[in-house]
Amino acid sequence: MHDETSARIARLESERDILRTFTRFFRLLDTRQYEQVAEQCLTPDAELEVRLPTAHRLHGPGEVTRHLRTQLDARSEMTAHVPGLAVVDWNGHDQPFLTAYTTAWHWFTARAHLGDLRPADWTVVLLVEDAYRRHEGRWLIARRRVTPAAGLVAAGSPPPADPAGHR
């Protein structure tokens, strides 16, 4: 009985760490701490598949950081991600999988003259599917797949596909 209780406590502690990594990713993203996203949330061999606004794959923390700096900075002056209820499923394996909906709010740089308290330029509801792996004592994202949950945009106008034509 003691071993079973210890195993349950260890799994609960692991799930709390996974949820911390999940929410930390979005907090660091929203505060533009792009290098910290890679350092604090991703395994060294992490792969991210993002289907917004077009499908692309990112391999490794360096590529993720470069993408965030060139793509996100070019389009938006600010983002705010609101993660929904996340479910961690072990599926009888040692590798946990997290699934959650997240609402992402975006404000375009070109519309900054309208003030900080203006409505978001576009909003999307995302389905986030993560696979986590323990690395150096912490649960980090090894694989992430992000897709729009119900169409590209929930409200507003979608971003241009090319950052050179950003709004």
pLDDT tens, residue by residue, 39-95: 999 999 999 999 877 788 999 999 999 988 887 666 667 889 999 999 999 987 788
What range does the domain containing 158 cover?
A: 2-165
Give dist(CA 3, CA 28) in Å, integer: 37
Mean pLDDT of 131-143: 97
Q: What is the CATH number of the domain that holds 134?
A: 3.10.450.50
pLDDT of residue 159: 61
pLDDT of residue 158: 66
Lowest-pLDDT range of 23-37, 106-120, 141-155:
106-120
Mean pLDDT of 19-25: 97
Per the structure, how many domains does the chain have? 1
Mean pLDDT of 136-152: 92
pLDDT of residue 165: 45
Q: How confident is the model at residue 161 (pLDDT cuts 50, 70, 90)?
A: low
Q: 30, 79 in Cβ contact below 8 A?
A: yes
Q: 52, 125 in Cβ contact below 8 A?
A: no
Q: Which residue has the higher pLDDT, 129 or 4?
A: 129
Q: How confident is the model at residue 162 (pLDDT cuts 50, 70, 90)?
A: low
Q: State how far the alpha carbon of 57 is from the alpha carbons of 48, 106, 123, 133, 148, in Å.
A: 6, 21, 22, 19, 15
Average pLDDT of the chain is 87
pLDDT of residue 73: 64
Give dist(CA 78, CA 84) in Å, integer: 20
Percent of the chain with pLDDT over 70: 88
